[in-house]
Chain A
Amino acid sequence: MLQAAFLILALPLAGFVLLAIFGRRLGDPAAGYLGALAIAAAFVSALVTWAGLLALPSASRQYQQHLFGWFSAGSLKVPVALLVDPLSMTMALFVTGVATLIHLYSVGYMRGDPQYSKFFVYLNLFVFSMLTLVLSNNLVLTFLGWEGVGACSYWLISFWFHRPSAASAGKKAFIYNRVGDVGFLVAMFLIFDKTHTLNYTAIFAALHGGMLSGPVVTVALLLLFLGAVGKSAQIPLYPWLVDAMEGPTPVSALIHAATMVTAGVYLMTRMSPLLAVSQTASVVVASVGVITAFVAAAAACAQQDIKRVLAYSTVSQLGYMFLAVGAHAYVAAIFLMVAHAFYKALLFLGAGSVIHGMHDEQDIKRMGGLRRYMPVTAATFVVAWLAIGGVPPLAGFWAKGDVLLNAWADARWMWAVGLLTALLTAYYIGRETVLVFYGPERWRSLGPTSASDRSDAHGNASSDPHEAPAVMTLPLVVLAAASVLGGLLNLPFSGMDVLTHWLSPVVTAPRILSLGVSARWTLEAADAVVALLGVALAVGLWRKRSDRQALEPHWLLAGWGLDEAMDRIFARSGTRLAAVAADGDTRVIDGAVMGVARAVRYGGARLRLLQSGYVRNYALGIALGTVVILGYIVSRAAL
């Protein structure tokens, strides 16, 4: 059954190829269903492979499937080969599972779009890339998937390419990711230089064999983390993810939940044997994570756009995951990643349903009272809110609680910042939920924004908001159920910490085992209180009013000015540098060449009596002169 592993990759790839060739002929909605089918089949293959893995005894749950040699020269040997172990299967299962639901939802959401089939071409390639990333047994093939998701995000974010903002956002995503890729690449070169391999298990063997010194491990990890910071949108490389909502909403769901931003967390978790020996790198990862978590959560509190709130929320949640990774709590990181995939996909798909129902309105201040018109969306959105907010007993409570417990055990200040962020999380999603689904129906009086005519995906605007069709609400219900029950994956009771046991062959056990029972319960209770406080604040502040400028300062709306600062430092000064360099190339370097040419021509004019003035004669003169001079030098040197 383990041999089915290659199908997890082959089926989305086949879907991509088929859709690329026949997609336009299949049209709307057959192309969409084909795309969804390919991913659903990959999910089934993942289940089969998983069953095969389960059948093995816990300690020997590792299977490598060699498909073919990709390239090799000298000691560099890079195969296309898969590593099936508890970590990669956990990733493969939730990626294919969530992606299937998003595909299904897209069948309805993208209906009527002139590039309907192309959307699913990219979507299938996106999922294929992500699965390659997580299933690869070596860093280079992981990098293929890593770059693949980067390219697909570029295509999908700029999907409505006629909008300049979408085109720029796509480009921005790719370039920010590439900055991180420099780190990933150099890390690979360093690791290869020291260990002569890029295979994960061989790298870990080399580590235990003493081939990697402490400083090398730290540098390699920090370089890989630079890649993760780019891909998983941490400080300072997160602005791209906020702009990434220019893409169609299912793309946002896919990027935020399943196929892209979790890649950085996965990579660091995969390299956890190295992290275990580098305290410096671990502290950096955890610090960047917790600071990003707080900064992004604060920014989310002031956003007006329904998707921008969610984008900052993802940045913040990823920060939590890195906090866990840095605190050596790899299981907690994966636990939160899976739980987050459920409720963040749900939030985005819910937001898409709202945007769809509101005829492309995205400003939450122009919504309100929508629960009467779209009950399924409203109910599932509330579930997602409570889940991400950490209200017990939903998935987020257990997953975030796990992270915070570990933070407490690692460094108290990180725990404190994490707890404060938890308060903000329950509050900002609550603010959004209340403003969209409760309170007065502000859209009746305010009218649509100019933004609402910018998408050509949906038809003419009718009067009232409406609920989405079943193909879109069904995924919402399934994800809501997962958001409620996701905590069952890893309950902090003995015998019920399934994920911890499942992942134990791959990652080291968390340190919180040393924490006393009473300490644990106190911390968990604190989480619950904070979550309920956040919920109460949101309801209290925003139930009646939609305008509290004191709580939405401009610098928070602008995301602490990071985007502006990055733009000023890199984009604008880069443009200026390019202008100077281009000018210098014409004037200085080419100027010198042309200066020599003019001098020769001047000399030629002087010598016109001797020379005919034809170019070939100049050339001949140059050639002969050089021959004489060099010949002289050579003969001298040879003697």
Chain B
Amino acid sequence: MSVHFPFLTLLVFLPAAAAVLIALLPSASAGAAKGIAMVFSVATLVVAAAATVVFRPGFAGFQLVSSHPWVPSFGISWELGVDGISLFLVLLTAVLFPLAVAGASESAKPRSFLAWMMLLEAACMGSFLALDLFLFFVFFELTLVPTYFVIGGWGYAKRTTAALKFFLYTFLGSAFLLVGIVAVALLHKQATGHLTFSLPALAATPGIGGTGGALLFLAFTIAFAVKAPIFPLHTWSPDAYGESPTAGVVVLAGIMAKLGAYGIVRFDFELFPHQTMAFAPLLLTLAVIGIIYGAIVAARQKDLKRMMAYSSLAHLGFIVLGLFALTDIGVAGGVLQMVNHGLFTAALFLLIGMLYRRHGTWQADQLAGLQRRLPILAGVFTVVMMASIGLPGLAGFVGEFMILAGAFISHRWWAVVATTGVVFSAVYLLWAYQRVFHGPEKADQVRSVDLSWTERAVLAPLVALMIFIGVHPQPLLSRITPTVNQLVGHVTGQPARVQTAASVKMASPLRAGSSTPVQVASVTTTAVGSGKGS
């Protein structure tokens, strides 16, 4: 297969086409809608898998780049590309959508539900692939609309409020992002006389300094921090996760939360290396607070979906900790953990959905002793729970270990406090498990039946991936680390690859701030140049 094959454009267009096709169907044809959604999302997965195969490991820059002018007068182009950081997020998106669609049991108006879901997949794909800031913004905003309608249309009791809160909160964050994007492009034009929204070109601009740079960094970061979420901008998530239908929350927590973390590493790191260094202690502190605080509040939740929302806050805290550790090990761990978190969060929400289907509730105190009637569901829940807790041999451990080891090298005390989070994560999950699955069973639960074959088929790929990544994450890491090494070099002003303990400690924010822009620029341009050449 030639490398000129438009893999990435297809990844956006296939689900978008499915959305259009489903919307055009006559309203009665529910089966056809589901069929189209499955066929197209599986086709997207096949393309994503093929792109992963074609992707060259050991190579830092963007690959499979497709670039076409879109609005030339404003310097906006359809520019898509994939590198070690986005590759597995794209694959994760492609894996989770068919499973979310297959695992969903939304019976009311399935046609419009599926159309929104497919549009959401296209938007998520676009967000992870876009190399043009304006294009990214369009996709990033486009994720909001289907999510709003999915929560508002197919959610539970307080869905309207939750959907509105989600929409307004994230939209407010996006407003900052829009301002930031426009300002970055204009400042670039001021400096070079050339208007462009292309990330590689903008990243090569000499860094923006002073208060303006700091404000722009914050504008970007707030948008991403809301989306992730990062403490204290998280309070939309318990409502949105709690009221969202299963398929919606799988995407919301499994994929869109990563969009926030991805935005930070893709845009903050590339565009604002100096500010990233300068603000790292702040973000690290918020991350550590999120880890501890999220886990403590999670322990109090009897509502399993709200518990998962706080659990996500804690896990995203780990991811942000790894990213802002700004060491090759920590950032690589953070990127890997984005994928891992996507897998086990999605699986847990699917399992909670399956419990709801049987017992009409996800309140832990209304369930008990389910392990007796549902041994397989309980077994899968246990494995996924252990992956989330970070049991070595399953997906969560490797990422968490790298994050903490990487953070320890550059920011020792943050890492030490964060490590205590491993106790708390065990507390809330084991407690929830005990409430739901252990103890004597309740009288009204005797009818429940264990996992159906469809449900097993939905969960099996996720469990298999968790075990695979837990035992042999090297195929992922060998593709992630080259990009990460180069990016860490870009941010810290150190030459890539030779990140030792000593060199990171020497690089105080001030020193990095004084590093020559020329050096930073040259690193980035070579990478992008060779990326296009492939």
Interchain CB contact under 8 A, A144 and B369: no
Indicate if B525 sits at the interface (CB-CB under 8 A).
no
Indicate if B526 sits at the interface (CB-CB under 8 A).
no
Interchain CB contact under 8 A, A581 and B179: no
Interchain CB contact under 8 A, B427 and A175: yes
Contacts between chains A and B (CB distance < 8 A), count = 201
Within 8 A of B (CB), among A58-76: 68-76
Interchain CB contact under 8 A, B168 and A182: no
Dominant secondary structure at the B interface: helix
Over the window 551-581 of chain A, the binary record of Cβ atoms lying under 8 Å from chain B Cβ atoms (1 yes, 0 no) is 0000000000000000000000011011101
Interchain CB contact under 8 A, B167 and A619: yes
Counting chain B CB atoms within 10 Å of each CB, the highest count among A181, A579, A582 belongs to A582
Nearest to B481 among chain A residues (CB) is A73
Residues A637 and B211 in contact in the complex (CB < 8 Å), given A73-B332, A75-B500, A151-B386: yes
Over the window 623-639 of chain A, the binary record of Cβ atoms lying under 8 Å from chain B Cβ atoms (1 yes, 0 no) is 10011001101101110
Assembly CA distance A202 to B216 (angstroms): 46
Indicate if B39 sits at the interface (CB-CB under 8 A).
no
Assembly CA distance A171 to B389 (angstroms): 13
Interchain CB contact under 8 A, B391 and A73: no
Assembly CA distance A188 to B405 (angstroms): 8
Indicate if A464 sits at the interface (CB-CB under 8 A).
no
Q: Among A156-164, A378-386, A513-521, which stretch is in contact with chain B? A: A156-164
Over the window 183-206 of chain B, the binary record of Cβ atoms lying under 8 Å from chain A Cβ atoms (1 yes, 0 no) is 100110010000000000000000
Within 8 A of B (CB), among A510-541: none
Interchain CB contact under 8 A, A174 and B215: no
Within 8 A of B (CB), among A176-210: 178-179, 181-182, 185-186, 188-190, 192-194, 196
Interchain CB contact under 8 A, B371 and A68: no
Interchain CB contact under 8 A, A162 and B369: yes
Over the window 477-521 of chain A, the binary record of Cβ atoms lying under 8 Å from chain B Cβ atoms (1 yes, 0 no) is 000000000000000000000000000000000000000000000
Indicate if B78 sits at the interface (CB-CB under 8 A).
no
Interchain CB contact under 8 A, A637 and B212: yes
Cβ-defined partner of B300 (8 Å) among A174, A194, A582, A630 = A582
Assembly CA distance A494 to B284 (angstroms): 60
Nearest to A114 among chain B residues (CB) is B372
Residues A73 and B299 in contact in the complex (CB < 8 Å), given A68-B472, A633-B212: no
Indicate if B404 sits at the interface (CB-CB under 8 A).
yes
Within 8 A of B (CB), among A254-303: none
Interchain CB contact under 8 A, B405 and A167: no
Assembly CA distance A619 to B175 (angstroms): 9
Interchain CB contact under 8 A, B210 and A619: no
Q: Among A336-344, A393-401, A467-475, A585-593, which stretch is in contact with chain B? A: A585-593
Q: Which residues of A contact B500 (CB under 8 A)?
A: 75, 196
Interchain CB contact under 8 A, A585 and B297: yes
Q: Which residues of B contact A373 (CB under 8 A)?
A: none
Over the window 412-442 of chain B, the binary record of Cβ atoms lying under 8 Å from chain A Cβ atoms (1 yes, 0 no) is 1001100110110011001100100111110
Assembly CA distance A585 to B328 (angstroms): 34
CB distance from A355 to the nearest CB of B (A): 22
Interchain CB contact under 8 A, B371 and A161: yes
Assembly CA distance A192 to B232 (angstroms): 33
Interchain CB contact under 8 A, B430 and A175: yes
Q: Which residues of A contact B382 (CB under 8 A)?
A: 155
Interchain CB contact under 8 A, A589 and B408: no
Within 8 A of A (CB), among B140-187: 164-165, 167-169, 171-172, 174-176, 178-180, 182-183, 186-187
Indicate if A148 sits at the interface (CB-CB under 8 A).
yes
Cβ-defined partner of A174 (8 Å) among B296, B426, B472 = B426
Interchain CB contact under 8 A, B179 and A182: no
Cβ-defined partner of A615 (8 Å) among B167, B213, B216 = B167
Indicate if B477 sits at the interface (CB-CB under 8 A).
yes
Interchain CB contact under 8 A, B212 and A72: no
Within 8 A of A (CB), among B231-252: 232, 234-236
Interchain CB contact under 8 A, A74 and B300: no
Nearest to A76 among chain B residues (CB) is B329
Assembly CA distance A597 to B401 (angstroms): 40
Residues A633 and B333 in contact in the complex (CB < 8 Å), given A73-B481, A175-B423: no
Q: Which residues of B contact A192 (CB under 8 A)?
A: 405, 408-409
Interchain CB contact under 8 A, A627 and B179: yes
Nearest to B425 among chain A residues (CB) is A178
Interchain CB contact under 8 A, B393 and A148: yes
Indicate if A168 sits at the interface (CB-CB under 8 A).
yes
Over the window 122-160 of chain A, the binary record of Cβ atoms lying under 8 Å from chain B Cβ atoms (1 yes, 0 no) is 000000000000000000100110011001001100100
Residues A71 and B215 in contact in the complex (CB < 8 Å), given A178-B423, A185-B419, A638-B187: no
Q: Which residues of B contact A627 (CB under 8 A)?
A: 175, 178-179, 182
Assembly CA distance A194 to B412 (angstroms): 12
Indicate if B494 sits at the interface (CB-CB under 8 A).
no
Interchain CB contact under 8 A, A158 and B438: yes
Interchain CB contact under 8 A, A162 and B441: yes
Interchain CB contact under 8 A, A618 and B426: no
Interchain CB contact under 8 A, A74 and B499: yes
Q: Which residues of B contact A636 (CB under 8 A)?
A: 212
Assembly CA distance A585 to B306 (angstroms): 12
Indicate if A622 sits at the interface (CB-CB under 8 A).
yes
Residues A615 and B168 in contact in the complex (CB < 8 Å), given A144-B392, A634-B216: yes
Cβ-defined partner of B437 (8 Å) among A71, A161, A185, A575 = A161
Interchain CB contact under 8 A, B179 and A631: yes
Interchain CB contact under 8 A, B179 and A626: yes
CB distance from B124 to the nearest CB of A (A): 21
Counting chain B CB atoms within 10 Å of each CB, the highest count among A69, A73, A155, A637 belongs to A73
Interchain CB contact under 8 A, B474 and A171: no
Interchain CB contact under 8 A, B300 and A71: no
Q: Which residues of A contact B332 (CB under 8 A)?
A: 73-74
Q: Which residues of B contact A161 (CB under 8 A)?
A: 369, 371, 437-439
CB distance from B265 to the nearest CB of A (A): 15
CB distance from A91 to the nearest CB of B (A): 19
Interchain CB contact under 8 A, B402 and A71: yes
Q: Which residues of B contact A167 (CB under 8 A)?
A: 434, 438-439
Q: Which residues of A contact B471 (CB under 8 A)?
A: 70
Assembly CA distance A563 to B470 (angstroms): 35
Q: Which residues of A contact B232 (CB under 8 A)?
A: 589
Interchain CB contact under 8 A, B216 and A71: no
Q: Which residues of B contact A589 (CB under 8 A)?
A: 232, 234-235
Interchain CB contact under 8 A, A630 and B215: yes
Indicate if B524 sits at the interface (CB-CB under 8 A).
no
Assembly CA distance A171 to B423 (angstroms): 12
Interchain CB contact under 8 A, A593 and B167: no
Assembly CA distance A190 to B382 (angstroms): 31
Interchain CB contact under 8 A, B235 and A593: yes
Interchain CB contact under 8 A, A578 and B171: no
Indicate if B219 sits at the interface (CB-CB under 8 A).
yes
Interchain CB contact under 8 A, A638 and B408: no
Indicate if B7 sits at the interface (CB-CB under 8 A).
no
Chain B residues near A (Cβ < 8 Å):
164-165, 167-169, 171-172, 174-176, 178-180, 182-183, 186-187, 190, 210-213, 215-216, 219, 232, 234-236, 293, 296-297, 299-301, 327-329, 332-333, 369, 371-372, 382, 386, 391-393, 397-398, 401-402, 404-405, 408-409, 412, 415-416, 419-420, 422-423, 426-427, 430-431, 434, 437-441, 471-474, 477, 480-481, 484-485, 497, 499-501
Q: What 8 A-B pairs are tightest by C-beta distance, nearest first?
A: A637-B212, A167-B438, A590-B235, A189-B408, A582-B300, A144-B392, A623-B175, A74-B328
Contacts A161-B437, A631-B182 known; list 19 others, CB within 8 Å: A70-B398, A70-B471, A71-B398, A73-B329, A73-B477, A74-B481, A74-B497, A147-B392, A151-B391, A158-B434, A175-B426, A182-B420, A578-B299, A589-B235, A615-B164, A619-B168, A619-B171, A619-B172, A638-B190
Can you give 29 A-B contacts (C-beta < 8 A)?
A73-B332, A73-B484, A75-B329, A75-B500, A76-B329, A147-B397, A158-B434, A161-B369, A161-B371, A171-B434, A174-B426, A182-B419, A182-B422, A185-B404, A185-B419, A186-B416, A189-B419, A192-B409, A194-B501, A578-B296, A585-B235, A615-B167, A623-B171, A623-B172, A627-B178, A630-B179, A630-B219, A633-B212, A637-B215
